[in-house]
């Protein structure tokens, strides 16, 4: 069956092409983490579990975050900064990125988690050392779990962010 060419046809094709280009642009701005999303979710849950475990002596992660150290406990500044970074960048930003599936947020999550990993390593170190080689109370189990979880998040977010199709 042949169709007669109408004068409005080029306009319709141009409109269709513009619509296809807009859809393609929207797709390229989104990520599809697939099974990696489950590992990201498990790591975020591990961060939440780490928050209720001791980080410095008897002081839990939430107490470190809120500046409420247990009596007699000295918490260095770096673990406090790490707690803020890990819960904001590792936890909240990861959840927001999974919810919106935006490629730019995936990169922000990757770099934020990488920054948090460095802070976490420094947190462990500062809890093992002190002034004039006077050791601190040492890193607690929660601090170690948080560092491990944010390290795994870093790896996953870089893998997800770099898997975006080019276009």
* pLDDT given for residue 134 in this prediction: 57
* pLDDT given for residue 5 in this prediction: 47
* pLDDT given for residue 85 in this prediction: 95
Six token digits for residue 77: 């500044």
Beta bridge partners of 106: none
Query: pLDDT tens, 87-140?
Result: 999 999 999 999 999 999 999 999 999 999 999 999 998 888 766 555 667 789
* pLDDT given for residue 32 in this prediction: 82
Residue ranges of domains in the chain, CATH in brackets:
9-161 (1.20.140)
* 92 CB-contact burial (10 Å; exposed 0-12 / middle 13-18 / buried 19+): middle
d(C-alpha 117, C-alpha 123), whole Å: 10
At residue 155 the predicted structure's pLDDT band, cuts being 50, 70 and 90, is very high
pTM as predicted: 0.78
d(C-alpha 159, C-alpha 106), whole Å: 10
């Amino acid at each position: 069956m042949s169709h007669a060419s109408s004068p409005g046809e080029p306009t319709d094709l141009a409109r269709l092409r513009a619509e296809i280009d807009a859809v393609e642009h929207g797709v390229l701005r989104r990520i599809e983490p697939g099974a990696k999303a489950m590992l990201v979710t498990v790591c975020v849950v591990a961060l939440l579990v780490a928050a209720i475990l001791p980080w410095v002596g008897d002081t839990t992660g939430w107490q470190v975050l809120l500046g409420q150290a247990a009596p007699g406990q000295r918490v260095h500044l770096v673990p406090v900064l790490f707690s803020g970074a890990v819960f904001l960048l590792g936890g909240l930003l990861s959840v927001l990125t999974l919810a919106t599936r935006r490629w730019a947020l995936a990169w922000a999550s990757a770099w934020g988690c990488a920054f948090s990993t460095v802070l976490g390593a420094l947190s462990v170190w500062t809890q093992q050392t002190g002034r004039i080689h006077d050791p601190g109370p040492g890193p607690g189990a929660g601090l170690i779990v948080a560092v491990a979880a944010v390290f795994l998040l870093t790896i996953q977010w870089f893998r997800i962010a770099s898997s975006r199709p080019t276009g």
